[in-house]
Amino acid sequence: MFDITKIVRPNILNLEPYSSARDEFEGSEGIFMDANENPFGDLNRYPDPLQKAVKQKLSDVKGIPVENIFLGNGSDEIIDLCFRVFCEPAKDKALTFVPTYGMYEVSATINNVELEKIPLNEKFQINTEDITLNLLDPLVKVIFICSPNNPTGNCIKAVEFIIKNFGGIVVVDEAYIDFADAESLSKKLDIYPNLIVLQTLSKAWGLAAARVGIAFAGTAVIKYLNKVKPPYNISTLNQSAALYALQETSKFELQRNIILQEKSKLLAELESLDFVIKIYPSDTNFFLIVVKDADAIYNKLISSKIIIRNRNKIVKNCLRITIGTPAENEALLAELKNITL
């Protein structure tokens, strides 16, 4: 039986969270003389600390109950909260599989938590037989798995194996799930009380500027995330932007379909370039490609003001290219076709 109180840090278990003025009285009607706000203006009131309207909309769109939803100032905030809730600094550990999203390591370091980095195999998958001991290590409190993974672009197959065989928290970062055929693990919260699924409005939903990240988890986990988060972590402006985007599901579908169409066009064109050695399969809105000389190609593109991501230091001679608008993809291809190495 999974017992969350064995995983949460003792100081967080006993934490009496900050009770904001807006926590004490629910409702928007009334004369508010409780929060020392300026009584005049449009943005003069503190935002809803629990973002109830956004969560309700998200619940409708995603088919997940409101009580299983937590919102952060980007998923990056939720990654940091996971360390703060579960990992005792200078004692507990976290684990991830590399190459992967860089924020797990940055957040671990800021929180003074050791992050074990297990290499993915040549197919960018987890060798489950290599990690039996890690899964049993009582000091490992959180495992981060990015699936579909950034920067490799593929879905990770062993995710459920790890959730079932690990006694701590498994954070599955699904930032790119809207571009994948795979089903979100958020549908399985009932069977996995140690699961946190991260999603974001920053990618397919087109709202990176608004900083809205999502965690889907069991109510026990949600309770501790709410305890530790800053009271007003998502501004009223950003909550409005999220609400607006989530109402425009047809715009979301349309944009995603264009991106996916452009992705297959770009794939065919990239394959025809002679300096492209390999294009990894992608369940995302980007390609990781192996080229003859990543640094040279990266720099040539930079000089034409086309910015891609040079991943050479992480995966030898690899570049990561995000799918752009049709015109942007044309411009990229025109430049790439000009390059001779």
Ligand X SMILES: *Cc1c(COP(=O)(O)O)cnc(C)c1O
Chain contacts with ligand X (rule: CB under 6 A): 74-76, 101, 146, 150, 173, 175, 200, 202-203, 208, 213
Stated length of the chain: 341
CB of 204 to ligand X, least distance (A): 11
* Lookup: tokens for 282: 């992608």
* Cβ-based nearer residue to ligand X, 93 or 320: 320
The Cα–Cα gap between 74 and 95 comes to 21
Nearest position to ligand X, beta carbon: 74
Q: 101 vs 166, which CB is nearer to ligand X?
A: 101
Q: Which is nearer to ligand X, 68 or 149 (CB)?
A: 149
Q: Nearer to ligand X by C-beta: 144 or 192?
A: 144
Measured between alpha carbons, how far is 271 from 279 in angstroms, rounded to an integer? 7
User: Token pair of 41, please?
Assistant: 């203006």
Give CA torsion, residues 225, 67, 72, 209, to 10 deg. Answer: 180
From residue 164, how far is each of 60, 67, 294, 304 by CA, in Å?
Answer: 28, 23, 39, 49
Our CB check for ligand X shows the closer of 92 and 178 to be 178
Supply the minimum distance, in Å, between the C-beta of residue 104 and ligand X. Answer: 9
CB-nearer residue toward ligand X: 177 or 289: 177
Q: Which strands sit side by side in the sheet containing 93-98, from one edge to the other?
A: 69-72, 213-217, 195-200, 169-173, 140-146, 93-98, 114-119
CB of 26 to ligand X, least distance (A): 27
d(CA 29, CA 26): 9
Q: Are 227 and 15 in contact (CB under 8 A)?
A: yes
Task: Give 71 or 131: the residue with its C-beta nearer to ligand X.
Answer: 71
CB 78 to ligand X: min, Å:
8
CB of 149: closest distance to ligand X in angstroms?
8
Q: Which residue type occupies 341?
A: L
Report which DSSP code applies to 203: S
Shortest Cβ 132–ligand X spacing (Å): 26
Q: Give the nearest distance from C-beta 180 to ligand X in angstroms.
A: 13
Q: Are 145 and 174 in contact (CB under 8 A)?
A: no
